[in-house]
Structures are given as structure tokens and as C-alpha cells.
Chains A and B, each alone.
Chain A
Amino acid sequence: MKQVWAFCLLLLFGSCIQQKAKERSSRSAYYWSTTWEHTARTDSLVRSLKTLYLRYFDVVVDDEGKVMPNATVRFAASLPQHLNVVPVVFIVNEVMKRGDDSQALAEKVLRRLLQISETNGVAGVRELQIDCDWTLQTRNRYFEFLRHLQALAHQHHLILSTTVRLHQLSQPVPPVDRGVLMMYNTGDFTNIRCEQPILSLTDAQPYLKYLSRYRLKLSTAYPLFAYRIAFRGGRYLGVVHADNDLPLLPGDSIVMRRSSVAEVKRVQLEVEQLRPDANDEVIVYDISPNHLSNYKNSDYEEIYHLR
């Protein structure tokens, strides 16, 4: 009998160890820029990543009213071979407001995406992702587009994912293989009184109630980025991308908005409670050079070491 108990205990202990190892989150990041380039910081971060979500291009409505690709990423360096690269295409909602042929658009997007990968030696792509801030008005058209794209992607042995914004959690699930929950931009950055526009648990809370019931395989993207906002007399002026970028007058205030690691951790724990599988992959948004200088390596480690 003793032997039986000992065996059971061993089995239980063993399974706990196994379970813990299985639950460790995989490390991923978004790279949202028009140039893929090497910097010492990027290199060191990328080395530890399993997956890189790399924005390839946007799809916009051009001046002539045509749906066209725009701001295609330029490869100023090669991508590390170990990386699992997920090409991301951002489609402005305006495109979906038009009645263009969604099948044709899906074909064009996929063809271009594959050509970019081939031309620039991005090997082993297994997934592609579409980002679009769709609304109730454009939902049907966007979903139709996704259905076409998914069918095409599967023909190429690719899976299709899409970004899911917090407000979209209350909406029907898009027809894709999986989604990435964008856990950021929860507040109004044009309001000077909104001190945490990038991420605040309080602001995210109303949407999180839908999370556990959201019937789509999810990963979560957490923000580690910052930007400067100019205000005049409390009135929003604009985002300051670079010095000299905005006409500033004496008395104007420039406010730094930065997602705090502590707040990200709080939200991560909340997600862990509500839907642990959404943290199986932790994605940082974003590791392009513009944002890296605002955070230390230990900040990234803290976000990734969730479990």
C-alpha cells in the first residue's frame, strides 16, 4: 500500500513539474516600422524571441481612390534564421468601407506577402496576420475578406490570424485560425487628464469580462512603448514624433505617455485569472528602435517572465 501511495505522490509531483514547464509563456514581439534594421538592442532582444510579428505593409485607399499597398517595410538587414516570422498587414478601415471585391483583395494581399518573404529571404513562414480596426459597419466585409484569405492561406499551408482590439471582444469572432488580443490604447491620448492612455487596468476592465467566453484561440500583446504628446492650454495639439516636428510656443506642454511595466504586470495577472491560455504566448508591442530606448532589458524580462 505504501508503495502505491509513494507511486501516486511521485506521479502527482511529476505531473506538476511537467505542467509548470508546459505553461511557460513563449516570447514574441511586434516590429512595427518601415525599415527592418539591426541595432545592438534589437539584436539582443530578438535573439531571445521565438516569434517576430513583422509589419510588411499597409493597405490604404490612395489619392485616386484605389486600394493600394503603402509603407512597405524595407529590409536593411537580414532576419535571424531561428525566428518564426509572422508577416502582418495593416488594412485601414477605409478600405473595408468600400465595396471592392474581397476575393481579389485577399489574392493580392497574399501574393504580395509571399513575394516579399521570397524576395527578402524570410523563410519558414507558417502564419500571416491581418490587422484592421474594423467596426460594426465594416464587420461583414472584413469577415468576408478574412474567409477568402483563410481559404487561400490554407492552400499555401499557412494559418491566418488577426488582431483583436479590446472593443472587438464583444463582437462575433472573426473567421480566422487564431487571434492576438491588443492589450493597449485603452484610453484617450488626446485628453490631458488621461494619464495612462496606453494601458490602464481600470479602462480595460469593462472589456475583459468578454475574454473568457471569446471563442478564438488567443495570444496577448502587451505594450512597452511611449510617445510624446503636445498640449496647449490643456488642448491636444499632436503627437511629437521628433524635435521640431510641431509648432510649439512658449507655454505649451509636452507630456510623455509611457506604458508602465507595473501596470502591464497587473493586466497580465488579470488575463491569467480570466483566460490563462491567452498568456501562453506573450507578445511585446513593439521592439522597433524608436521604442527600445524607453525601456531597460529588465523591463522586457519582467513582462516575459509571467510564469
Chain B
Amino acid sequence: MKKFIICVSLLFFFTLRMLACGPFPNVHNYYMMKVVGTDNPDLFYDRVKDFWNDYVGTTGDYFGDDCAMLMSAANRKGDEEMKAYIRLIAQYKNIAARRKVETWDYPTKQELARQKVQIGQMRTVALNYKGQRLRPQYTLLLMRANLLDNRYPQNAVIWKRCGVTLKPSVFRDMCQNIYAASLLKAGQRKAACDIYARQGDLQSLQFAMLRFTHLDGIKSVYREDANSPALAWLVQNFVNSVQEDDDCERKFPQDTARSTYKSTAQQFVRMALQVIHEGANREPALWQAAIAMVHYTLGDVAAAEHESKMAMTMKGTQLERDNARCIHLLAYTKARISEKDTKTYSDYVTAELQWLDAKWRDVDDKAMESSDYFANVYDRVLSQNIIAHYRSQGNQNMVALLTGILDSRNRIWNEAGHSYTPGYCRNFGNSEYFCQLDSMTSSQLKGYMTFLRHADDGNALQRYALYENTYRDKIYFYDLLATKLMAEGRFAEAIPFLKEVPLAYVQHQGIAFYMARRDFHQSRWMKHQLVSDADFWPDEDFRDSTLTVNQKIAFCEEMNNLLGTYQIARQEVRPKLALQLASRYLQASCYGDCWYLTHYEKSVSDSARAWEKDFATEAMNYLEVARQDPALLQESLYAEAYVQMAVFSSGVWYTYEYDYNKVVSDISVRRAYDALSQYYLLHQNTAEPYVTKCDMLQKYMHP
């Protein structure tokens, strides 16, 4: 039962302050082979949209609502020819949507009959169309109508008679794509795949080549045609699969202990060398880059560096040579992780990062997209090798700076409009930049803040990174620094920085929800300030979390006063002050309700971080002073037992292995509970209810 309760509690806990998808770590291990096509499943969609953009004059959902938007544009123009066509494509769209996915609702006889009539109309109108303007569109419509009736052979005929004669356009390409399906249906896999590969239709290629993706498949395709356009995709898929196998082996060594991917990969390398040697293939750069990447994945970085450099100079498509260059950057940086930082390294890496920048900006000038190859390469090289290089040098500033670049390119933060809220960011997953800064001491952070202001110093890479990292502004850093100072117990130093932070800024942090609902004057051992955060969703809750003051400032000022007073207080006054200080320290610690004063988030297994002042220990020290006053003895003993239990059971109570006996076997916990139980036995009749009715104490005394 206990385990059940613990599991259920754990489930509840994990619903707090998290999105449904949970905080997953960022992906950095992107595939490096990318020599063909696009990952966009709507291969022709953008080009078709461009056509309609031109026609309608605005952008929008052209194909929704029976193509109403297109129809109104045609109406406006009095374009009867287009109206007739739009009516038919609306019909086609509806039938195709109905047939695309099988559902439990099978069409009725009437619906099938209606579809049959409509398909017949499409075919008739398309066949009878005598104009020139919409000829490509009507050819496509005819082939699509045939496709709905599985008339593959007829489509092959239409393509050969009409399709090939069409002028280049997206409609012609779509006709050819349907023709490829006819070829595939007729068993002409190679001819079909050649079309798919040329069109960059990876989804169709993958479907058609499903049984050819392994090494023997590649060999047979090569044997059939040494320059088959499908080879590029097959090679790309194979090399990326080697990486997938390798990743799996690292993560789950027990599952892949007998896997044969390494020997298969070596066989592939031999085959690729043979292909280059034979000279029949016109794109040796592809094969040489593939060899390099396989060697890189299998751990031979030196070979990979050499081979990728060779690939860059070989014959191949632009994308293949770019791909070789990316692999070379990956290998070059990997080989130098532990080497000293040199000008050569910095200059080369900077130039290559700028080249990658230009490449992905060329594709999409907005922000990094996971589907964008060059952006992915940038991410992988930076995160796995360049940052590792600076970490090995002990250059914490560069590590943080470069991590910041990765974060800044992650679109989620910026689109969410919460670029400056560390607590909020953590709710979206793992902000690696925040983690990096979070692990710094206040002095290190101050040093980093100074480092950020000297953009003209250092080597080329440092200058580039400083220029690129515009991710956080000074408010962000002031808030972070002040919070660190508070966690280090340097309250007076924190105040000036806190006063630089506008209340509106705090208002938009995740912690505002708690700050608006909790009071640090309460003693944690007397009352748990419960808040309803089971459905925590920051955007909505911010609105109900209006702050009138930044509680951090109030806390620092009060702690300053208390500590100052305590220092100069007479001995007999000190216990009372000590009890107050103990209470404040515990509340502001990771075990308290007001953890948000020193942290941006809370977890079930918190403890004081290495660089922090241990507030719980501090509380214990003050409680020892407090108990010297007989009037405060009862509360002090009770508080000590609470604090010791909180510290020792943090990260323990929720696990499957939770064992009460184990918790109370800790010497500090025992000592505190022994003292409290002794007090209880001596003062059973006069003790306060919080002692006499304490279930934990009763359990301890009567196990």
C-alpha cells in the first residue's frame, strides 16, 4: 500500500509545473549524411501554393472549405475557365480525403455512386479540355481521377502521350510523380525510383526501396545501374542507420551485444572504395564522404578527417560536396577536443560556422529548424565537439557562451515570448544555457557578465560567439546574479541588483505563481502553504499572480536586519532572533515553501548545491541557539526534527525503496527525534498539540 501511495504521489508530482510532453533533453546527435531531397512530406505543396498565390493575390487556406477562397478569386475575375476547374479540384480533394485513410465508416452505395459520377465527370472534362492555359492542370486532374480508380496503366499512357509534352511546371512534375507510381505498379521499380530520386521525393523512394536499404540492396542497385539516382538516398540512409545502430549500442549495450552493424559497415566501406576505384559512378564525393562518416561513427576520427577532406575535392553534386565539408568539420573538431586552443583552430572553426550560418539562412532566414541539415550540423558540431573543446580547456565562459548560442537558436524560447524568464524556460524542457549559468557561483557569473561585455577581445571564435550570443540582456543577468547571491547568503550584495529588476519581469517568471501565494514569515514546520498547482500552466496562472512587491527584496532586507540585529543582540535576546532566522533560512532553502527566493524551480530530490550556503544547516545552527531559551525549547526541538527529516528524506521518500526505518536510522534524524520524544515524555500534559499529535513522532516512538 505504501508503495502504491508513493507511486501515485509521484505521478501527481510529475504533473506539476510540466508540460504534457515532459522535460526531454535537447537532441544534438543529428544525422550527418544529407545528400538528397527534402524531408518535407508535402513535396509539391509550396510550389502549388505559389501558383495560387499569384492567382488569388493573397495567401491563405486555398483548399479548405471546398476551395471557396479560390472560387471567390475566380468569381471576382469573371474567370469561367478557372471556375470550372476549381469546382472539379474541390470534388477531387473531397474524394481523395475520404479515401486517403480507411475508417470504420464505409461509404454507402449512394456515396460511392456519387464519387463514381464525379470521377467520371473529371475524366470527361479533362479529356475534352481543348485550351492551352490549364492544360497541365487538366492533365494532372485526369491522372488523379484515374488514380482514384486504380487505373495505373491508363496513367502511363497519358504521361507518354501528353505529360511529357507539357512545359516545366509543378503540375508537370506531379503528373510525372503519378506516372512513377504506374511504373512501380507495373514492376518497373528502378525507373520509378529514378523519378522519385530526381524529384527528391524521399517518402516514395523509401516506400519503393524498402527492401533495398541494406548493404546487399545497395549492391544490387549499383550492379543494375552504377549511376542510379536512388543510390544517393540509399547511401545516405545506410550511413545514418550505422549511426542509429551505434547510438543504440551505446545506450543499450546489452541489447546490441551481438549486433553485426560494425562488420556490415566495414563491408560497406569496402564496397564504397570499390565503387570509387571502378570509376563507373559519376559522384565519388558521395561514396568518399560516406566512408568518412562511417569511420567517424566507428571511432576512427583521423581517417574520417582525411577522407572527408578528400571527398570535398571529388566530383559530385553541390550538396554532396557540402555534405563532405560538414563531415570534415565534425571530424576536425572531434580530433581537437583535447588540444590547446590555437589561432588556426579558431580561424578555421569560425569560418566554417559562418559558412553553415550562410547555408541555413539561405534555406530559411527565420530560425533554426530541426529539418534543416546545415542548422543541424551547426548544432551537432558546436554541442558535441567545440563546446567539449573549451570544456577540456577549463574555459567556462566560452562553454556558457557557445551553449547560449545553441539556446538562442532554439525557436521555442523566442516564439513563446519568454526569452528572459529562467524559471519559465525550464518548464519547456532543458534550457542548457540556463543549466550552465545555474551551476556557476555568483563570482563566476560576474566574471561571465564582464566577459560578455568585451566583444572585441579574444580570438576569432570568441568574437564570433560574442557577436552571435544576444540571447540574454542585463535584466536577466541581474536577476540571476542576485538570486545566486541570495543562495550564497549574501543578502546585502543582492539588493542593488534586485532593485534593477522591474517587477513586471518577475511577474512573468514561473516562480511568480508561488511568490504571489506564499509568505516567508510563516514557519515551514508549523504550516505547509499549499497552493493549487496541479494543473500548473504558466501563461494562464501569471494572470492570477499579480505581484505588488518583489519578495526577494523584502526577504533580503529582512534578513539583513535580522542578521545585523542578531550580531549585536544581547545573549538573552538571541534565541528569539535565532528562531526567526532559522525559520527564514529553512523557508528560503530548497526544503521550504519559499524555495523561489533562491531557486527558479523545485524538484523532489533537491539538496543544497555545492556553491550555495547550506540554508538547512544554517537553520539547524540557529535552532541550537533558540533551544537555549526554555520558552522556545519545545518549538526548537520540533523544528529540528522537522528539518532533519526533510533533509534526509529528500529524494528518498518517493522512491520504490522508501524505507522509514532507513530514514530514521540516520544519526542526525535519530538524535533530533530522540530529543523531541524525550521532551514529549517529560511534558505530556503540557506539551502543545503540534507535539502531542505529531504522527511522525508517534510513529518514531511506537514503531
Contact = CB atoms under 8 A, between A and B. Distances in A.
Interface of A: 35, 57, 68-72, 74, 76, 108, 111-112, 115-116, 118-121, 232, 238, 242-249
Given A74-B150, A118-B109, A242-B187, A248 B220 contact: yes
A218 to B, nearest CB: 30
B190 interface: yes
Given A118-B108, A248-B220, 11 more contacts: A68-B104, A72-B102, A119-B106, A120-B109, A244-B187, A244-B189, A244-B190, A245-B189, A247-B211, A247-B212, A249-B216
A55 to B, nearest CB: 14
19 contacts: A68-B101, A68-B102, A68-B103, A68-B104, A69-B103, A70-B102, A108-B104, A119-B107, A120-B109, A242-B187, A244-B188, A246-B211, A247-B211, A247-B214, A247-B216, A247-B218, A247-B219, A249-B216, A249-B219
B221 A247 contact: yes
Contacts of A247: 211-212, 214, 216-221
B112 A119 contact: yes
Nearest to B108: A119
Q: Which of B106, B212, B219 has the most CB of A within 10 A?
A: B106
Contacts of A72: 102, 106
Contacts of B216: 232, 247, 249
A119 B115 CA distance: 13
Given A238-B211, A244-B187, A247-B221, A112 B104 contact: yes
Contacts of A119: 106-109, 112
Contacts of B101: 68
A35 B212 CA distance: 27
Interface string B91-116: 00000000001111111110010000
Contacts of B217: 247
Nearest to A35: B150
Contacts of A69: 102-104
B583 to A, nearest CB: 51
Nearest to A232: B216
Contacts of A70: 102
Interface in B367-398: none
Contacts of A232: 216
Q: Which of B101, B103, B104, B211 has the most CB of A within 10 A?
A: B104
Q: Enumerate the 4 nearest inter-chain pairs by beta-carbon distance, A residue then B residue, closest first.
A: A247-B217, A247-B220, A115-B106, A119-B109
Nearest to B215: A247
Given A119-B112, A247-B211, A247-B221, A111 B104 contact: yes
A57 B102 contact: yes
Nearest to A107: B104
A74 to B, nearest CB: 7
Nearest to B190: A244
Interface in B210-243: 211-212, 214, 216-221, 223
A116 B220 contact: no
A115 B108 contact: yes
Nearest to A237: B216
A66 to B, nearest CB: 10
Contacts of B106: 72, 112, 115-116, 119
Contacts of A116: 106
A187 to B, nearest CB: 24
A69 B105 CA distance: 10
Contacts of A68: 101-104
A76 B116 CA distance: 12
Contacts of A71: 102
Nearest to B185: A242
Interface in B639-675: none
A248 B221 CA distance: 9
Contacts of A242: 187
A108 B105 CA distance: 9
Nearest to A113: B106
A288 to B, nearest CB: 16
B220 A249 contact: yes
A249 B217 CA distance: 9
Q: Which of B190, B211, B218 has the most CB of A within 10 A?
A: B211
Nearest to A246: B211
A246 B214 CA distance: 11
Q: Which of B150, B216, B219 has the most CB of A within 10 A?
A: B216
A109 B343 CA distance: 71
A265 B357 CA distance: 73
B195 to A, nearest CB: 15
Interface in B180-225: 187-190, 211-212, 214, 216-221, 223
A114 to B, nearest CB: 9
Contacts of A57: 102
B572 to A, nearest CB: 69
B219 A243 contact: no
A121 B113 CA distance: 12
Nearest to B216: A247
Nearest to B219: A249
Q: Which of A70, A71, A111, A115 has the most CB of B within 10 A?
A: A115
Contacts of A244: 187-190
A105 to B, nearest CB: 10
Contacts of B187: 242-244
A115 B219 CA distance: 48
Nearest to B110: A119
A129 B342 CA distance: 75
A35 B189 CA distance: 22
Contacts of B212: 247
Contacts of A121: 109
A197 to B, nearest CB: 21
A245 B103 contact: no
B26 to A, nearest CB: 25
B150 to A, nearest CB: 7
Contacts of B189: 244-245
Contacts of B211: 238, 245-247
A220 B189 CA distance: 39
A35 B150 CA distance: 10
B527 to A, nearest CB: 44
